[in-house]
Amino acid sequence: MIRHGILIAAALIFGPLVGGLISGMDRILTARVQSRIGPPLLQPFYDVIKLLGKEKVVVNVWQAFCANAYLTAASIAVVLLCLRSDLLLILFIQAVGSVFLVVGAFSSTSPYSQIGAHRELLQMLCYEPLLILVAVGVYLQTGSFRIAAVHALHQPMLLKLPFLFLVLGLVLTIKLRKSPFDLSTSHHAHQELVKGLLTDYSGPLLALTEIAHWCDTALLLGFCSLFWATNPIGALLLVAVTYLMEIWIDNVCARMNWRWMLGYGWGMGMALSLVNLVWLYAR
Amino acid sequence: MQGEIMDIGLDNLLGETARIKVEGYRFVTISCVEINEIRMELLYHFDRNFQLKHLRLSISRDCRAPSISPVYFAAFLVENEIQDLFGIRFHGLTVDYDRTLYLEKDVKTAPFCKFAVVEKSPVCEEKTP
Amino acid sequence: MTRTIIPFGPQHPVLPEPIHLMLTLDDEVITEAVPAFGFVHRGLEKLVEIRDFHQMIYVVERICGICSMLHAMCYCQGIEEMMGIETPPRARFLRVIWSELHRMHSHLLWLGLFADSFGFESLFMQFWKIREKILDIDEATTGNRIIVSVNVIGGVRKDLTLEQTRGILSELKSVETELKRLETTILNDYTVQNRTVGKGVLTAKQAYELGLVGPTLRASGVMQDARMLKYAAFDDIAFTPVVETDGDCYARCKVRFREVFQSIDLIRQAIGKLPNGEIAVKVKGRPDGEVTSRVEQPRGEVFYYIRANGTKHLERLRVRTPTFANVPALLTMLPGAGLSDVPVIVLSIDPCISCTER
Amino acid sequence: MFEKILTRARMRSPWMLHFDCGSCNGCDIEVLACLTPVYDVERFGVVNTGNPMHADILLVTGTVNHRNRNVLRNLYDQMPGPKVVVAIGACGLTGGIFRQAWNVVGGVDRVIPVDVYVPGCPAKPEAIIDGVVMGLEKFMEKQHVDIS
C-alpha cells in the first residue's frame, strides 16, 4: 500500500515535471534548428509560474471547471500508467480529459475558440481510433491489456509491432500539436486561429491546461517507452529518438488543413495498423 | 504629363469609360483635385502597355457623379476614398461604404477639402445617360 | 457547425498590419469576405499644404517603411520631370542599386511571412536571417536599416566608395548561395505545394481586368513591370520581367523568389557599369504644372500624380500604391476558399496596408 | 517567498502582443525582426502571442488615429494584469512626422498609459529589446505597488 502511495505521489510530481523539461528541451532544440539560441531549459516553468500569478479572468465558470477537469484527468492517466494499470482505462481517461478541454473551449463565445474546438474534435476523431488499434496490437502481443503484462515480456515489443509504433508516432505528432497537425492551436503565434482552442483560457486557467499538456506528453512518451520495456536504457533511447523525430517533422513541414489530416491520418494510420495486426494474427 | 488628356462631362463619362475599356485599357486610379469653393476636378487615369490616357471631369462640389465601378470593378475602392476625403458622392457604386471607409460614422466634413465643407445632400443629379 | 462570422483583424498575428476582414464561414468555407479599412489612415497626401516640396520626400518615405526608398524615388523623379532637371548618371545607377536592395529585402520579408502563413516557422526564420544581410548593407551604406532616405530632388545624398561596392558584391554572393539552399524547400516541398498550388487562382484575363500590378499580375502570365519604362538607369541595364503562368499562390511565390535573384543580377550589372561623376545637381526654382510618375515597387507599380502651382507647396499629391490596386483581387479570390487558406491568399498579394491607406 | 519566485518568473517570461496602430511598417517589421535569428528575443523568454488574453507586454508601433484608438483601448483592457505598455518609434511617442496629418490623434499615451518609450524612426531592434527589458523592470515596481 505504501509502495502504491509513493508511486502515486511520484507520478503526480514527476509526470508534469518531466513533461515540462521535455517541453523546455523541445523549445531549445527547435530554436537551434531555426538557427536561434532559444530560451533557457526551465522556460516552460517560468511561463507557468507567471501565468499562475496573473490576474484571473474567468470567461465563465464552466470553462474554469473544464480546465480543472482536464488537468485532473491527465494526471490520473499518468498515475495509472505508473501503477501499470489497464491500457484501455488509461486511454479512456486521457480521452475524457481532452473532451473537457474541448467542451471548455466550446463554452466561450469567441469564434476562434469555437473553430479551434471544432478542429480539436476532428483531431480526436482522427487519433483516438488509432490509439485503440495500438492497444489492440499490444493485447494481441501480450494477451492482456494490462501494462504489467508488457513488462513481463522477454523481447521488446517494437520488434513485433514496428508499424504500430509508427502509428503511435503519428498520434504523438497530432497530440503534441506539431507542424503538419497544429490545427486547433499552436505554440507559435502565426496561426490563422491565433491560439484557437486556448484563446479564451487565460492566466491561471491557461497554466492548468499547460500542466495538463505536460502530463499528456509524459503519458504518451511513457506509452512509447513500453515498446522497449525490457531495458530502461533502450526505452530511454527509443523515447529520445522518437521525440527528436517529432521535432524534425515539426520543422520540415507546413501546417496542413483538417481534411488532409483526416485523409492522411486515417488512411496511413489504419493501413499501417492493419498490416501489423494481420501479420501478428497470421503468425 | 505623359499621355493624352480628354475633357469630358458628367453625361458622357460612363460612355467614354466603356469605350476605353473596349480599347483594352486598364484602370489605374482617380485623382481628385479641389479647384475652388465650387469646382472639383476628377482625373481618371487609364493605362495600356504603359501608355496613359486621362479623362478630366470638372464637377460641381454638390453634384453626384456616376460611379465607373460597374465598368471597372477596381474603381470602387478609390471612389469610396474620394467620397470620404472630398465629399463628392458617387451613385451606382458596386461596394458602397457610405463614407465609412476611413471616416467614423458621425463625421460630416470632408477632411481633404481646404474650404471646409459640411456634407449636405447633393442637389443636382446628372441626366440619364 | 453552420455559419460563423469571424472578425479577421485588425489585430491578428498573421497580418502584422491592421486590416479587418469580416469572414462569413460555412463549415470553414468562406462565403463572403468584406474588408474594412481606416486603421492606418493618416491623411499624408494632405500634408503637402504644410510641408514644402523638399520636405515631402521625408513624408512619402514614411508612407510605407518597406518600400520607402521607392516611394521617394518615384516622387523625386516626378518633381525632376516637372522641373526639367537632368539627374547625373551616377545618381541614376545608385538609385537602381538601392532600389533593388530594397526589393530584395521586401521580397525576403514576404517569403518569410508567406512561409509563416502556412505554418512553416523554420523557413520564416531562415528567410529573415538572410534578409538581415541586406539590412546590414543598407545600414553600412546609408546609415539606416529600413528607411534609407537617400533620394533628394536632383540626385542622391550618399555615394558608394569602391570598397563599399566590393562589400556589397561579396555579401550578395553569400546571400545567393544561402537562397539557393532554400530553393528546394520553398518550391519543391510536398507540404508547401499542398498548401499553395491551386489556391487563389486568377486567370490572366481576370488579373488584367482587375487592374492588378506587380508580382500578382506577373504570376498570372501578364508581362508588365514598370521597370520596362526604363526610368533611372534601366535603359542601360539588361532586364526582362519574371513571368509565371499559373496564377495561383504558388506561382506568386515563385515569381517573387525568382525576382530576388533577378535583383541580385541587376545590382551586379549596375555596380559593373557605375559611372564616375556627380551624384546630385543643384535645384533652383519651384515646380509648376502637373505630372505623373511611375516606379516598380516590390509589390507592384506605384503611381504618383503631382500638381504644382509655382509655389513651394505642391497643390496636390496623389499616390496610388500597388496594394491599393491589388485589394480588389482579394474580393474575388477569398469566397470559396477554406479558412486555413485565408492567410495564404491574403499574403499572396503582399498586402501593405499603410501604403494602401496612407 | 512565493512573491519572489513569481517576480522572477515574470521577469523571465514576458509574452508580448504586438499591435500596429498605424505605423509605416518600419517599426512594425523591426518588432518582428526581433523574433528572428539575429536578435532572437526568445532567449529572454519573449513569445509573440498575438492574443491579448495571454500577453504581458503590449508593444505598440505607430500613431493613434480616430478609428484604431478604440481597438487599442480594447486590446489594453483585454490584457489581464500586471501588464506593461511599450510605445515604439517616433510616431508611437508623439505622432512623429505625421502629427499634423488630419487623422492623427497623437502618441499612444493619448489613449492608454505608456510605461516605456522607445524612440527612433524606425526604432532599431536593439532599442526595442532594450525597451522590453526596461518594461520588465517596471514589473518589479508594479509588484511593489500591488503589495503595499
Residues in D touching A251 (Cβ below 8 Å): none
- How confident is the model over A143-170, as a mean pLDDT? 82
C241: number of Cβ within 10 Å: 18
DSSP B118: B
Here the cell at position A279 is 501479420
| Residue B35: CATH number of its domain | 3.30.460.80
- The answer to whether residues B69 and B92 touch, using CB atoms and an 8 Å cutoff, is yes
Q: How confident is the model at residue D148, as a pLDDT?
A: 35
Q: How confident is the model at residue B127, as a pLDDT?
A: 46
C339 touches A at CB < 8 Å? yes
* Residue B120's pLDDT band (cuts 50, 70, 90): low
Here the cell at position D35 is 523574433
Indicate the Cα dihedral angle D110, D115, D121, D125, nearest 10°: -150
Q: Which of A26, A46, A55, A209 to mutate to test the interface with D (most CBs of D within 10 A)?
A: A46
Phi-psi region of C291 (alpha: psi -120 to 50; beta: other; left: phi over 0): beta
Of A33, A251, A257, the CB nearest to C338: A257
Of D44, D51, D81, the CB nearest to A194: D51
B44 DSSP β-pair partners: B30, B55
Residue C39 φ/ψ, nearest 5 degrees: -85, -20
Q: Where are the domains of chain C?
A: 3-357
Here the cell at position D24 is 509605416
| C108 alpha carbon, distance to own chain's centre | 11
pLDDT tens-place string over residues C205-233: 888 888 888 888 888 888 888 888 888 88
C8 DSSP β-pair partners: C21
ipTM of the complex: 0.84
pLDDT tens-place string over residues A108-141: 877 788 888 888 888 888 888 888 888 888 888 8
Here the cell at position A83 is 501503477
Q: Report how far apart, in Å, the C-alpha atoms of C334 and of each of C31, C328, C340, C343 are.
A: 8, 10, 11, 10
How high does pLDDT run on average in chain C? Answer: 85
Residue-level length of chain D: 148
Burial class (CB in 10 A: 0-12, 13-18, 19+), B24: exposed
Here the cell at position B65 is 457623379
Give the percent of chain A with pLDDT over 90. Answer: 1
How high does pLDDT run on average in chain D? Answer: 83
Say yes or no for a CB contact (<8 Å) between B104 and D67. Answer: yes
Residues of D with CB under 8 A from a CB of B: 66-67, 102-103
Closest CA of chain D from C275, distance in Å: 32
Q: Which of B81, B97, B102 to mutate to test the interface with D (most CBs of D within 10 A)?
A: B102
Cα–Cα distance for residue pair A196/C141, rounded to 1 Å: 44
C193 touches A at CB < 8 Å? no
- The answer to whether residues A183 and A255 touch, using CB atoms and an 8 Å cutoff, is yes
Cα–Cα distance for residue pair B107/B110, rounded to 1 Å: 8
Q: How confident is the model at residue B123, as a pLDDT?
A: 54
Q: How confident is the model at residue B124, as a pLDDT?
A: 56
- What part of C 283-342 touches D (C-beta under 8 Å)? none
Cα–Cα distance for residue pair A124/A118, rounded to 1 Å: 10
pLDDT tens-place string over residues D14-34: 888 888 887 888 888 888 888
The CATH-assigned architecture of domain C3-357 is: Orthogonal Bundle (1.10)
Residues in CB range of D126: below 8 A, 6 or more apart = D39
Say yes or no for a CB contact (<8 Å) between D82 and A195. Answer: no
Q: Which of C49, C81, C320, C349 to mutate to test the interface with B (most CBs of B within 10 A)?
A: C320
Q: How confident is the model at residue A158, as a pLDDT?
A: 79
A57 touches D at CB < 8 Å? yes
Of D12, D45, D80, the CB nearest to A54: D80
Confidence check: pLDDT of D145 > 60: no
Cα–Cα distance for residue pair C98/C173, rounded to 1 Å: 17
Say if D and A touch: at least 3 Cβ pairs within 8 Å: yes
A259 touches D at CB < 8 Å? no
Of all helices (H) and strands (E), which one includes residue C119?
none
Q: Which of C19, C212, C301, C303 to mutate to test the interface with B (most CBs of B within 10 A)?
A: C303
pLDDT tens-place string over residues C236-268: 888 888 888 888 889 998 899 999 999 999 998
Residues in C touching A30 (Cβ below 8 Å): 122
Structural domains of chain A, count: 1
Say yes or no for a CB contact (<8 Å) between C4 and A114. Answer: yes
Confidence check: pLDDT of A220 > 50: yes
Cα–Cα distance for residue pair A253/A153, rounded to 1 Å: 37
Cα–Cα distance for residue pair A115/A183, rounded to 1 Å: 10
- The answer to whether residues C215 and C352 touch, using CB atoms and an 8 Å cutoff, is no
Cα–Cα distance for residue pair A213/A26, rounded to 1 Å: 14
Domains, chain D, in order of start with CATH, read 2-140 (3.40.50.12280)
Confidence check: pLDDT of D146 > 60: no
Structural domains of chain B, count: 1
pLDDT tens-place string over residues A185-203: 766 656 666 777 777 787 8
Neighbours, chain D (3 or more CB pairs < 8 A): A, B, C
The domain in which residue B72 lies consists of 1-129
- State which residue of chain D sits closest to C127, comparing Cα positions: D36
Q: Single out the residue of B32, B115, B6, B18 nearest to residue B71, CA to CA.
A: B18
In single-letter form, the type of residue at position B2 comes to Q
Cα–Cα distance for residue pair A116/A111, rounded to 1 Å: 8
Q: Single out the residue of D87, D93, D90, D94 nearest to residue D131, CA to CA.
A: D87
Cα–Cα distance for residue pair C250/A257, rounded to 1 Å: 17
- The answer to whether residues C84 and C345 touch, using CB atoms and an 8 Å cutoff, is no
pLDDT tens-place string over residues C94-150: 888 988 998 998 999 899 888 888 888 888 888 998 999 888 888 888 888 888 888
pLDDT tens-place string over residues D51-76: 888 888 888 888 888 888 888 888 88
| B76 alpha carbon, distance to own chain's centre | 10
Residue with cell 489497464: A86
Q: Which residue has the higher pLDDT, C215 or A254?
A: C215
DSSP C340: G
Cα–Cα distance for residue pair D77/D65, rounded to 1 Å: 18
Q: How confident is the model at residue C247, as a pLDDT?
A: 85
Q: How confident is the model at residue B129, as a pLDDT?
A: 38
* Residue D147's pLDDT band (cuts 50, 70, 90): very low
